[in-house]
Amino acid sequence: MPEIRTLHDPAELLAAATLFRQAMFGLPGGVTPVDGWAERYVVPGRVYAASLEGQLAGTCNSFPGELTLPGGQRVPHAAVTHVGVLPHFSRRGVLRALFSQQLADLYRQGVAVATLRASQGTIYGRFGFGIATAIQDLRIDKRELPSLPAAEGDIRLLPAANAWEAQQAIVARFPHPHAGTLTRWPQWWALQQHRLAHSSLNHYVALACKDGEAQGFVRYHAKPDDNWLYSTERTLVVDDLHAADPQLAAQLLGYLLQLDIARYIELPHRPVDDPLPLLLANPRAIQQTGRIDESWLRIINVEQTLNARRYASGEAVTLAIDDPLLAENHGVWRLSSDGIQRSASRPDITLGIDALAMLLLGEYTAQQLAAARRLQPHHSQAAARLTRLLACHEHPWSGIFF
């Protein structure tokens, strides 16, 4: 059996980071682990190492923060990342041992949920993670617009290297209301700064100001093109867009559309129900492509999480939840508009903790999961009742990668 322990020593943290990059051998350039890396980019004590045969075999870590649930309540959240097992130690229980220890520790620490970004779609369901948010890519062809919207508002342009403090202040003061949104931790910001500082591209930040205060921003760069000066395909790529309200977001989009030198504007990783396409006079000027899973969510504490969520009105539903890794969640629960509690009643629905994760934020409905055989209703109205109870008015979205 693998030996699992948490790491604090900078040299061991550096070794774990190096192992992760070896396991994910195709990663593009980012932060190359060197001396001083651990102090800036990880949280000591949250990095796990698995050892087999006296060698480091696998690792995972997480960052603390909060996740927004439907209704706006935030709960303690762990952003799980840097998950990797060396190929010659694969299929020997290393990842299961790592996750079993990490999830148990997070439960004891009072963390309600965890999310990760999956490199493969076949790994994480067995550990109770389910797809909880999705994203799409948007691409605007300005030539297809009959006219460009007039530039509005007070927009101020800064070199990106001089705008980090403003960006962090805007995100902290005006958090997105979307279910699935995460608070951004210091190491996340540090990593963005590092990548930008070591990029060969020019990055810019435009601030949208209201009442003399910056309340929105867009960070963007030019897509690499060896023939930029004469190219007819010049493209701007949006790295981050955050605004206090939809009006400011529209102003920032209008600013980008007024940059005459670019033909295309790409906005990756947007919500699947993003209203931005509706701002354009010609809906065919924008392509909506690349829909893919974003957040894989793991409910760590069913009672804590489900009692923090808002529900629609409707009949209560009794759920038999299967959680093979956290016994505290396993069993029968009664879910109503008032929350969740243990129950001795016969279940209306049986489902795994991964399926419950897919329902939590509203990305999927119980009827969809029933049709896909990811949950088992025990009578004809059970799935419809659960769908009504969990109803949300918009799709969830996180908006950041880690």
Per-residue pLDDT tens digits for 184-223: 999 999 999 999 998 989 999 999 999 999 999 999 999 9
Cα angle value 163/164/167 (rounded, 5°): 90
User: CA 303, CA 333: separation in Å to the nearest integer?
Assistant: 9
pTM of the model as a whole: 0.95
CATH number of 3-128: 3.40.630.30
Dihedral sign (CA 81, 87, 88, 94):
positive
Distance CA 376, CA 319 (A): 10
In single-letter form, the type of residue at position 254 comes to G
Looking at the DSSP bridge assignments, the partners of residue 291 are none
Domain boundaries for CATH 3.40.630.30 within the chain? 3-128, 136-290
CATH class of 136-290: alpha beta
Fold of 302-390: Nonspecific Lipid-transfer Protein; Chain A (3.30.1050)
- Which of helix, strand or coil describes residue 282? coil
Locate CATH 3.30.1050.10 in the chain. Answer: 302-390
Q: pLDDT tens per residue, the chain (402 residues)?
A: 999 999 999 999 999 999 999 998 877 665 677 777 788 899 999 999 999 999 999 999 999 999 999 999 999 999 999 999 999 999 999 999 999 999 999 999 999 999 999 999 999 999 999 999 999 999 999 999 987 766 678 999 999 999 999 999 999 999 999 999 999 999 999 999 999 998 989 999 999 999 999 999 999 999 999 998 999 999 999 999 999 999 999 999 999 999 999 999 999 999 999 998 999 999 899 999 989 999 999 999 999 999 999 999 999 999 999 999 999 999 999 999 999 999 999 999 999 999 999 999 999 999 999 999 999 999 999 999 999 999 999 999 999 999
